Amino acid sequence: MRFAVPALTVAALAASLVSAPASAAPITLEPSASTVVVGERGRGVWNTFTARGAGASVQGMDLELVAPDGEKVLVDFVWRAGPGVWNGAASFNRFDAPGKWRGTLVVRDKAGKEKRAARVVFHVKRRTTLSAALPDGRGGSVSGVLRRLGETGGFRPYAGQKVRLYKWTGGAWKLVATATTGAKGKYAFSARPGKLQVRYSGTAVNAPVTRTAP
């Protein structure tokens, strides 16, 4: 973890969360992204956390984050315009442990008494890339290479993964074939006419990716 600072803006989206009451009404906690996808560069990807429903007795709050490898990060929250709304943010990059992160919101009242108010779950995943080439009209296959972000940076061939081919049919994408990537991350499907799309569904630590063949 390289940064953990108060957020300047918020784009709250739906995400997995469990709320616990801190006062008469429960405080809710939401991340701006349920999955943070980090790339090759060290520059971080921000996730903003928004707490709503804090009463007038709340004087401060922090979010305690725990990574899959046990690393702990403390995110300061600040009050923002709007009654009972607080938020903070943390930045993630490829050096952070991928997988499921958990957070606990701790609130403080005027007397300095602390109380655990809400919990949040989100994922940090590493980016994957997927190339897709259409046949050239001479009976070639739909083929490409799947790569994942390596432990030390750079993208490496990703072997032994399921890649699926979809065809646009009747106003929707229809699964037509599945292939497994080889030792060098390569896959291939027999040639098919029409609009095609190749998908990789990802893992607990590697992000999904979709490529629509031109």
Q: Which residues have C-beta within 8 Å of that of residue 71, sequence separation ≥ 6?
A: 1, 96, 97
How far apart CA 121 and CA 44 sit, in angstroms, is: 19
* pLDDT for 1: 52
Model pLDDT for residues 13-27, shown as the tens digit of each residue: 233 333 434 345 689
Percent of the chain exceeding pLDDT 90 equals: 69
Return d(Cα 121, Cα 127) in angstroms, integer: 19
Give me the pLDDT at residue 4, please: 56
- In the prediction, which pLDDT does 10 show? 32
Question: Tens of pLDDT along 166-196?
Answer: 999 999 999 999 999 999 999 999 988 888 9
Query: What is the model's pTM?
Result: 0.81
Check pLDDT > 90 for residue 33: yes
Inter-CA distances, 108 with 65, 72, 103, Å: 17, 20, 16
Res 115 pLDDT > 90 = yes
Which domains are seen in the chain, by residue range? 3-126 (2.60.40.1930), 128-212 (2.60.40)
pLDDT digits (tens, 9 = 90+) for 130-174: 998 876 655 568 899 999 998 888 999 999 999 999 999 999 999
- CA–CA separation, 187 and 175 (whole Å): 16
Across the chain, mean pLDDT equals 86
Q: Which of 36, 26, 32, 27 is nearest to 14 (CA)?
A: 32
Q: Among 29-33, 49-53, 130-134, 177-181, which stretch is predicted with the lowest mean pLDDT?
A: 130-134
